[in-house]
Structure 1
Amino acid sequence: MNEQLNTFIQVVQSGSFSKAAEKLFVSPTAVMKQMNLLEKHVAMPLLIRTNHGIELTKAGKSFSKDAVFMVQYFQEALLRMRQSAQSNQLVIRVGTSMLNPCKVLLDMWNEVSDQFPQFKINIVHFEDDSHTLPTTYRTIGKHFDFIVGPTITENWKEYFRVFELGSYRFCFALSRNHRLASKKTMSVKDLYGEQLAVVNGGGSDVIDEIRDFLIRNHPKIRIKDIPRLYDIDVFNRCEESGVVLLTLDVWADIHPSLVTIPSDLDFTIPYGLLYPLHPSEDVNQFLEIIKEMQSQHS
């Protein structure tokens, strides 16, 4: 209806369908159809078609006086509605970084976001730095409502909760110049004689199990413990030194000079939504929506 009113106003101002069509960047036929629909809607003729253009009927003259007001009022009503919706929006702050990308959550949310217009997602970037990450995790609930990431550290329970979404598989990352870089998949035995960097800064039971498994069953692999959390600097150092890095499939594109190859390690690590120990009501509502989606997909 609003489109018909706008077209009617332009026809009245232009004096013909063809001139109105030029102003509206549509065809004269499209303008005629809109006017026919409008006259059908109001159940009376508004325009007199002539060879020289259009003239207004008596009803059309009366209607044209109010049409501009109706369009203006409609636009103002839309603006008030949007302003009201924005004032009542529930803002959910989602942290994101190279090693903790929020794409998984955003992809899920985009499936249902039109059903929950009261929620607005605010993306908050943070740095992947092994020195600052522990502090970052402690600020979940202050600077972020959610972070999406693997639960590598076992010391998280005193800082945040986790809603599990799935699991990541362990892979090997190595320089594109490495002798093994062309392989599609890698067996643990392919690493015999190689140095394997294993990050050991988060007290992860899974990584401890992998280390013990390799030391016990594959002593020909030289384990290089890195006493820190995963961060970009770890990837840089492995690329520069030629050392193979124990990594996750989700980090396959982290470093352009490293190639990440699936392994035959039968270990996985869970990932999910990291959220506050004491979430707000807004966060709880948002989380319940995600949980419902997860249950439907599983």
Structure 2
Amino acid sequence: MYNQQIATFLKVADCGSFSKAADSLFISTVSVMKQMNTLEHHVGFLLLKRTNRGVLLTEAGKSFYCDAKKIIQLSDDAIQNASLIATEEENAKEYTIRVATSILRPCKPLVDLWAKVDDGTLPFKISIIPFDDSPAGMNDMLASLGNTIDCFVSPCDSISWQQKYQILQLRQNNCCIAVPRNHILSKKKMLTWEDLDHETLLLLQHGESLLMNQIREDIEKNHPLIHILDTPNFYDTTVFNECEKRGCLMESLDIWDQIHPSLITLPMDWNYKMTYGIIYSKNATTALTSFINLVKKELLNTTIS
């Protein structure tokens, strides 16, 4: 903020030597001497007496030294005071976290968790942005992630998502089977692999989901009597409608038990669970990163307790 030559002059005066000042400043002696020559040329008079034993201040140099010390101190104080004000202004800001939400990917798990974190003093508020679960709607929402949308909550074992985005795992949800209400299996409390024999099962197409790939491989290897019918990369309400229309079964999640009024979600006798979490950009803003860290801390506290 101030002329660096002034700081170098003060160091030379304190050390009484160009070489000692240079060592202290981690620069060459020649550089120190050039700075002093330039400074003296600029002010128009000598500030230092050069001797074989070092340097001494001239009378003008002594006066300049005292005032220069004040200049340096005033400059440092100005920076510190401005920094404190800037910090206070930053702390007083309120940041809006824009959370995308849809029928199949509601933001409620995050909102409920944030309610436990926010004591009313935190500088964050949540703004809900609706989107459509259709392939086009999903693609538009993902294209906005990191721009007009900060994050969303969803099943998150997508291979491409794990490569493109950051993911904070919230919980594990049970994989279940959705059954039309008029289907013979709808009366059961829990389904087994044998119940699925000779049935058509809607299942996410191979490749995108690690978990769905495992279920598919399990079926193809150990339960060949189950007929698999591929669905798109992303579930939307169309898939649920297709399940009801065909009268077939569908792999689903326990959190989706209220999606379609004509379908019943039944637990399945297997150990498959889907990771559910917050998905956000790898280039997250400082504000979003702070928000996520607070959520992460609450998750850790909940786990410990």
**Following superposition, which runs of at least 4 residues in structure 1 exceed 3 angstroms of deviation?**
none
Aligned residue number for residue 194 of structure 1: 199
Alpha-carbon deviation of 1:95?
0.9
Contact 2:141 2:149 in 1 (8 A): no
Encode CA deviations 1:144-195: one digit per residue, 9 max, x unaligned: 1110111142011343210111111110001111111111111121111111
Aligned residue number for residue 136 of structure 1: 141
Aligned residue number for residue 22 of structure 2: none
Asked if residue 239 in structure 1 is aligned to residue 244 in structure 2, the reply is yes
* CA distance, structure 2, for counterparts of residue 180 and residue 143 of structure 1: 44
Aligned residue number for residue 177 of structure 1: 182
Aligned residue number for residue 276 of structure 2: 271
Contact 2:102 2:132 in 1 (8 A): yes
Secondary structure of 1:164's counterpart equals: strand
Encode CA deviations 1:88-147: one digit per residue, 9 max, x unaligned: 311111111111111111111112322434211101111100233134223211121110
Asked if residue 159 in structure 1 is aligned to residue 164 in structure 2, the reply is yes
TM-score by length of 2: 0.67
The correspondence of residues 1-298 of structure 1 with structure 2, limited to 5 A, is 88-200=93-205, 203-298=208-303
Aligned residue number for residue 54 of structure 1: none
Aligned amino acid, residue 177 of structure 2: F
Q: Could you say which structure has the larger radius of gyration?
A: 2
Aligned amino acid, residue 254 of structure 2: D
Secondary structure of 1:99's counterpart equals: coil
Question: Measured at CA, do residues 116 and 189 of structure 1 come closer, stay the same or move farther in structure 2, by a change above 3 Å?
Answer: farther
* CA distance, structure 2, for counterparts of residue 172 and residue 247 of structure 1: 5
Number of residue pairs matched?
215
* CA distance, structure 2, for counterparts of residue 261 and residue 246 of structure 1: 10
Alpha-carbon deviation of 1:260?
0.4
* CA distance, structure 2, for counterparts of residue 117 and residue 163 of structure 1: 20
Secondary structure of 1:210's counterpart equals: helix
* CA distance, structure 1, for counterparts of residue 222 and residue 110 of structure 2: 38
Alpha-carbon deviation of 1:219?
1.2
Secondary structure of 1:169's counterpart equals: strand
* CA distance, structure 1, for counterparts of residue 207 and residue 137 of structure 2: 13
* CA distance, structure 2, for counterparts of residue 143 and residue 171 of structure 1: 34
Contact 1:140 1:160 in 2 (8 A): no
Q: Where in structure 2 are there 5+ consecutive unaligned residues?
A: 1-88
Aligned amino acid, residue 291 of structure 1: K
Encode CA deviations 1:210-249: one digit per residue, 9 max, x unaligned: 0110111111111112244211100001111101001111
Percent identity between the two aligned chains? 34
Aligned amino acid, residue 287 of structure 1: I
Root mean square deviation, CA, Å: 2.0
Secondary structure of 1:155's counterpart equals: helix
Alpha-carbon deviation of 1:202?
6.0
Question: Measured at CA, do residues 115 and 202 of structure 1 come closer, stay the same or move farther in structure 2, by a change above 3 Å?
Answer: farther
Contact 1:152 1:202 in 2 (8 A): no
Greater share of residues in helix: 2
* CA distance, structure 1, for counterparts of residue 147 and residue 160 of structure 2: 19
Aligned residue number for residue 73 of structure 1: none
Q: Where in structure 1 are there 5+ consecutive unaligned residues?
A: 1-83
* CA distance, structure 2, for counterparts of residue 132 and residue 108 of structure 1: 26
* CA distance, structure 2, for counterparts of residue 100 and residue 185 of structure 1: 25
Aligned residue number for residue 46 of structure 1: none
Alpha-carbon deviation of 1:205?
1.6
